[in-house]
Chains A and B, each alone.
Chain A
Amino acid sequence: DAKTTQPPSMDCAEGRAANLPCNHSTISGNEYVYWYRQIHSQGPQYIIHGLKNNETNEMASLIITEDRKSSTLILPHATLRDTAVYYCIVRVTDGGSQGNLIFGKGTKLSVKP
């Protein structure tokens, strides 16, 4: 699976959009981009995933560049409860692979009042 690079930490003001970047320059054609977050020591929470088109759900939007070498997770109106570690993961989901989730160090997002 391709490796991802994320900034170790970011701050965001409450109510503003949080834009979390992720580089995955070695991503291959059959790898999806997934985002999870983990609040303190709770179980990771799935946020969103995509292949090449931009995706949006009730939690966030995922913007993937045309060359698929990077992506941005957008939390449109960050709240204090969005303070967490955010993980960007690329993962094969076809063929014989079970598509293990390989968690890196993620980005620690701090939402401030």
Chain B
Amino acid sequence: EAQVTQNPRYLITVTGKKLTVTCSQNMNHEYMSWYRQDPGLGLRQIYYSMNVEVTDKGDVPEGYKVSRKEKRNFPLILESPSPNQTSLYFCASSLTRRDGYTFGSGTRLTVV
């Protein structure tokens, strides 16, 4: 089944403890992106990648890192999480710039 898989689905962590949210797609898509969703603010893009080793900042990149070493994987790294990064995170991918994005099921992160 064609899909975008994120792990974990739920995570509670403490301030300052580094964490990685993984994202993998099995559709050979070139474009991948991370979004966060917060009440009243909607979905906002964090980082995106147009191909292997090509990444760029979205609208809210502060406090996040990404890497794209392989086409299928696009992990989101929080080096020192803070409570304001408590959010629902979505990874998405698309074959081309014009195609619709396929989204993952989301990762609900709580930083205490």
Contacts and interface: CB of A to CB of B under 8 A. Distances in A.
A46 B100 contact: yes
Interface stretch (B14-22, B64-72, B103-111): B103-111
Interface stretch (A37-45, A65-73, A75-83): A37-45
Interface in A92-112: 93-94, 98-101, 103-105
Given A49-B100, A93-B98, A105 B42 contact: yes
Contact of B42 (A42, A99, A104): A104
Contact of A103 (B4, B33, B43): B43
Given A43-B90, A101-B43, A34 B100 contact: yes
Majority SS at the chain B contact face: strand
A92 B43 CA distance: 18
Contacts of B90: 43-44
Interface string B19-62: 00000000000010101010000111100101000001011000
B105 A101 contact: no
A103 B43 CA distance: 6
Given A100-B45, A103-B42, A105-B42, A94 B97 contact: yes
Nearest to B49: A98
25 contacts: A34-B100, A36-B100, A41-B37, A42-B106, A43-B92, A44-B43, A44-B90, A44-B101, A46-B102, A47-B100, A49-B98, A93-B97, A93-B98, A94-B97, A98-B31, A100-B33, A100-B45, A100-B48, A100-B58, A101-B35, A101-B45, A101-B101, A103-B42, A103-B43, A104-B42
Interface of B: 4, 31, 33, 35, 37, 42-45, 48, 50, 56, 58-59, 88, 90, 92, 97-98, 100-106, 108
